[in-house]
Structure 1
Amino acid sequence: MPRALMLHDDAPRARLETLDESQLPERAVRVAIDYSDLNYKDAMAVTGHGKIVREYPLVPGIDFAGTVTDSTDARFAADDRVILTGWGVGERHWGGFAEAMRVDADWLVPCPQPLSTRQAMLFGTAGLTAMLSVMRLKEAGLGPGDGPVVVTGASGGVGSWAVSILAHEGFEVHAITGKPEQNAWLEALGAHAILSRANFESRGRPLESTQWAGAVDTVGGQILANLLAQMNYAGKVAAVGLAGDAALPTTVMPFILRGVSLLGVDSVYIPFDRRRAAWQRIAALPNALLSHMHVEEVGLDDVPDRAHAMLEGRTHGRVLIDPRR
């Protein structure tokens, strides 16, 4: 019988429980979960911040990777290695903070060789979103020779993978962070320069001196508005998060006077073919990128504590969850 971290609408909110197989959702594919990970959205769900979870009880965890043990869908068979990210799993549907879960076949993608399920969760939604951001920028015409690229929230999951992948692709990456103690680590990931978040938090002019050919923004709000004002002519910005603020206090000037493009990047409902292509690109990355990523590995019973730590800014890199630990 699988163990799972279950969320309830009364105290204590998060409880480690042992489930009967009959309690798992009636869905087509049963997966023995090897690893999950802790994302910012997971931390909000586990702690009750925001309105991530609306129906209880619920098993959180928007990501997992593991091995199929049973399937009534012809696309998957026992012993297939699979990855799940997005689709409202861990928000509206039971998710990956468990030893096993039943899910819809439509939500799964094969785990491509030579990627292990553990490596897949070192990337998780964060790495997938970062890769999709890089793909979006390059498809819009951005190249390493166009000029520097800036990444906000660089010490977080999406930001750190964006720094690493962009540097690997040959871009000059400038990393914005509010955690100066992580500067050396960001340089090890490939950052050319480290910039203080404080320099981007005050309201600026509608247009500033041009600095950036491209950007990956994970925070939104005033920081994103300031980046838009600093973009080169025809600069390209991939907007992927709202860790700072969902508002965007900008003007149309960067768009109509400099031809700046603001590119939305979604990792939750992207179609299967693009999702699979992104994972194949991740699998082709050199192992050296993984060796530089900071990883904290925990068990299910550690998740509530690490969720609070993440919301308080006391984590960096990736938090990996081994449900059998």
Structure 2
Amino acid sequence: MSDKTFKALIVEESEPKKFTRRIGERKISDLPAGDLLIRVHYSSLNYKDALSATGNKAVTRKFPHTPGIDAAGEVVECTCGRYQPGDQVLVTGYDLGMDTPGGFGEYIRIPCEWAVKLPDGLSLRESMIIGTAGFTAGLCVWKLDRAGVEPDAGDVLVTGASGGVGSIAVSILAKQGYRVVAVTGKPNAGDYLRNLGAAEVIGREAVLEGAERPMLKERWAGVVDVAGGDLLAAAIKATRYGGAVTCCGLVGSPDLNINVFPFILRGVSLLGVDSVQCPTQPRLAVWEKLAGLWKPEHLEETVTECGLEGLEEKIQQILKGAVRGRTLVRLLDA
């Protein structure tokens, strides 16, 4: 088995700071040590994958490398005793696709604890339409729920709503009865977001209006923010008394220029969301919800699909901010 070859996207540093990408062959013996060998059926394309594929050393330090922070497939070998050959599992987070060869290869080898047994109610394909983006959205909703933000509390704002995390957050929240206000910078995304369940679609300028003031009129019972920066600061300033804001991204900016007034005068909670090192119990709890009560009703409407050969075009699109929803990567027939 160790001499078996498989296809993978291979990123190489041909000379200092110059990176190339190609579809090539690797051997299973090239994979790192680990308890679990998985035949990958599906992966998905995330912004972090595009950064890794273009040689961003903040994401990936060791080359040659195969990106892909998501993977779902079938167990081939397991030495930890937790899984049997043929078991279906999914993997998101940890070091997969960063410095550990990831889901853009037909096989991965990982520690057992990185894997989650595929929950009842999800197919391998569906699990990767959800992927890290959907899991992150699920963690945001889970934290809002635990903070007491209930559907009758008022509007919930979702920034970056046409992206991977935002799209699935809109769908989950709407399915649970929340009135969702979706923020997007894409003028043609309105119908798409309303179809996912958004009650209202607004532009960024509607959130940022008056944001130079220390406090804004109370508007949001809760917020799912993937943008960071000025949008996050404005959303916090307009969150209602006792409301909660989840923060899971920095596409706008990693900086947060805000005073303490919303926290000490309105009791607003700012909740950080990390999907990479998320502990096992909340990880399992959120995946069970995503396979059941929270399963988005419009998964197929949020996704486009490609094989390994189509990844180059999709990588360029996501770097330009031109991808809407999720990009599924099919490996079973690659």
- Greater CA drift, 89-98 or 281-290: 281-290
1:33 aligns with 2:40: yes
The separation in 1 between residues aligned to 2:9 and 2:27, in whole angstroms, is: 14
The separation in 1 between residues aligned to 2:312 and 2:254, in whole angstroms, is: 25
Deviations 1:270-290 (CA, angstroms, capped at 9, x unpaired): 111211111111111477713
CA-CA distance at 1:314 after TM superposition: 1.1
Counterparts in 2 of 1:49 and 1:55: CA distance versus 1, 3 Å = closer
Deviations 1:51-89 (CA, angstroms, capped at 9, x unpaired): 211111111100000000111110111001001000021
The letter for the 2-side match of 1:146 is A
The separation in 1 between residues aligned to 2:95 and 2:28, in whole angstroms, is: 22
Point out where structure 1 has 5 or more consecutive residues left out of the alignment: none
The separation in 2 between residues aligned to 1:50 and 1:184, in whole angstroms, is: 38
Deviations 1:3-54 (CA, angstroms, capped at 9, x unpaired): 1111112255222111122112221111010100001111121123562111
- Greater CA drift, 67-76 or 291-300: 291-300
Residue 285 of structure 2 corresponds to which residue in structure 1?
A: 277
Residue 24 of structure 2 corresponds to which residue in structure 1?
A: 17
CA-CA distance at 1:291 after TM superposition: 4.6
Match of 2:302 among 294, 300, 321: 294
How many residue pairs get matched?
A: 325
Q: Provide the aligned C-alpha RMSD in A.
A: 1.5
Matches within 5 A, 1:1-325: 1-10=5-14, 11-49=18-56, 51-201=58-208, 203-285=211-293, 289-291=297-299, 293-323=301-331, 324-325=333-334
The separation in 1 between residues aligned to 2:304 and 2:56, in whole angstroms, is: 22
The separation in 2 between residues aligned to 1:48 and 1:285, in whole angstroms, is: 39
CA contact (8 A) 1:188 1:292 kept: no
The letter for the 2-side match of 1:3 is K
CA contact (8 A) 2:171 2:296 kept: no
SS of the residue corresponding to residue 298 of structure 2 reads: helix
The separation in 1 between residues aligned to 2:206 and 2:238, in whole angstroms, is: 13
The separation in 2 between residues aligned to 1:243 and 1:318, in whole angstroms, is: 16
The separation in 2 between residues aligned to 1:12 and 1:53, in whole angstroms, is: 12
Counterparts in 2 of 1:25 and 1:268: CA distance versus 1, 3 Å = same
Point out where structure 2 has 5 or more consecutive residues left out of the alignment: none
Deviations 1:111-165 (CA, angstroms, capped at 9, x unpaired): 0112110000010001111111101001011101110000000000000000000
The letter for the 1-side match of 2:242 is A
The letter for the 2-side match of 1:47 is T
The separation in 2 between residues aligned to 1:25 and 1:184, in whole angstroms, is: 45
CA contact (8 A) 2:8 2:308 kept: yes
- Greater CA drift, 165-174 or 302-311: 302-311
SS of the residue corresponding to residue 301 of structure 1 reads: helix
The separation in 2 between residues aligned to 1:22 and 1:132, in whole angstroms, is: 35
CA contact (8 A) 2:175 2:296 kept: no
CA-CA distance at 1:301 after TM superposition: 2.0
The letter for the 2-side match of 1:7 is V
The separation in 1 between residues aligned to 2:194 and 2:262, in whole angstroms, is: 30
TM-score, normalising length: structure 2: 0.94
CA contact (8 A) 2:156 2:181 kept: yes
The separation in 2 between residues aligned to 1:82 and 1:2, in whole angstroms, is: 19
SS of the residue corresponding to residue 48 of structure 1 reads: coil
